[in-house]
Amino acid sequence: MNHTLFDLAGIRRILGMLGALPLAMAALPAQAETAVERQAEAAAAAAPHLRFMSAAKPVSVHYVHLKDDYQTSPILQAGLAQLKHAVAICVEGNRRLGRPANPPTAFPDQILHAHEFEYAAQNRTITYVMAYQVQMADDCRLLERASLTARLQSSKGKCTIDLDRKTADGECDAAGHADAPVRPRPPDAASQEAAMAAMAADPRMAKHMAALRKLPGAGGGAAGAAANAPRRTIAGVECRMVDALPGIRGCVSQAGGFVPSASTGMGMTLYREFAKYASTAVEAKFDLPLDAAIFTPYLGGGYAINRKGDK
C-alpha cells in the first residue's frame, strides 16, 4: 500500500499542533464557543478558491474540504480538561503571589480545530489548512490563534506558505509548479490482477502462481481485495476504504477525469483517520474549472519568498 496515501507530512503538521497533552483529573462540562473560535469557524466556511475570479483559461482541479471530527477524541477532551485545570491553578497561584490573574469567562468547545482545503490538478496539489489553537498565558488568559497556511507540492518539490505572516519557503516558482511532470502511477488493482492472470496462464509459471494465491492474505489477488474493500458515500461521492499504515486508514475516491499524481497519488481522500483523530469531507467537487492562481497565493503581493537555492 502506498504509504503516502494520507499525506504523512500533513498529518505530522496537525499532530504538531497538539503538543503533549497530559491527562487531567478535572471534569469536562459542556462548553460554549469563544469569540475567536467562532471567528475561526466562520472563516473556514469560505473556501480559499472563492476569493479568485474566473480565469480566461481555467485549470481543471479536484477539490475536497475536510473538517475535523476531533470533538470525540479522548485525547483532546482530556486536553480541554487540562486547560481548565491549569487555569484554575494559575489563578490561585497568581493571587497568592500578588500577580495579575485574568481567567477567561468562557472556554472553547475544542482546543484544536482543523479545516483542510485540497486542490489537485493532474501534476500538482495545494492544501490550505485553517487551524484554531488555544494555550494559556502567564496571567491565566487564553491565547487563541486562528492560522491559515498552505502547502504546494509536486514532483518538483514543496512550497510551504504562511498566509498570515505572508512568507513562502521552498520550491515556490512563479508558475506554481504548472510545468511539473506527472509522476507515473503505480499499477492499479485491475492491472496487477491482469498481470498475475497472464503469468498463471503461462505453463511455466502456473504452478508457482497457484502456490502464490494460496499464501495467507493473498485472497483473490489485488483486484479481489479492492473489490471487497468497504465502500462509503461521503459528501455525495463514493469512495473506497483503504489501510495505509497501522493506525492510518481512510476513504479514497478516484472520481473525475483524472487521478492526481501528486500528494496521495491514488485519488482524493474523503475521510482520514489516524490514531484517535479523524477528518471527514463536507464538500467535494471534481473537474472544477478554477483560476490557476489557487496554486500561487504567494504571488498576491507583499510576500517574502525564500525560493529553494536562494541565498
Per-10-residue mean pLDDT, the chain, length 311: 48 52 38 76 82 79 91 80 94 94 90 92 94 92 92 95 95 95 65 70 74 54 56 94 80 92 79 85 95 93 80 42
Q: Which residue in 292, 248, 242 sits closest to 268, CA to CA?
A: 242
Q: At what angle do helices 221-228 and 189-201 cross, to 10 degrees?
A: 140
Q: What is residue 209's predicted lDDT score, i.e. its pLDDT?
A: 67
Strand ranges (DSSP E) for 24-72? 59-68
Q: Which residues face 126 on adjacent strands?
A: 119, 152
Question: Does any domain span residue 294?
Answer: yes
Q: What is the largest CA-CA distance in the chain?
A: 88
Question: Does any domain span residue 2?
Answer: no
Question: Does any domain span residue 1?
Answer: no
Hunting for cell 508457482 — which residue is that? 208
Rounded Cα distance between 93 and 87, Å, is: 10
Coil, strand or helix at 34: coil
Phi-psi region of 158 (alpha: psi -120 to 50; beta: other; left: phi over 0): beta
Question: Does any domain span residue 177?
Answer: yes
Q: At what angle do helices 74-97 and 8-18 cross, to 10 degrees?
A: 30
Q: What is residue 264's predicted lDDT score, i.e. its pLDDT?
A: 62
Question: Does any domain span residue 32?
Answer: yes
Q: What is residue 224's predicted lDDT score, i.e. its pLDDT?
A: 47
Question: Does any domain span residue 3?
Answer: no
Regarding pTM above 0.85, the answer is no
Rounded Cα distance between 279 and 270, Å, is: 8
How many domains does the chain fold into?
Answer: 1
Question: Does any domain span residue 263?
Answer: yes
Range of the domain at 127: 8-307
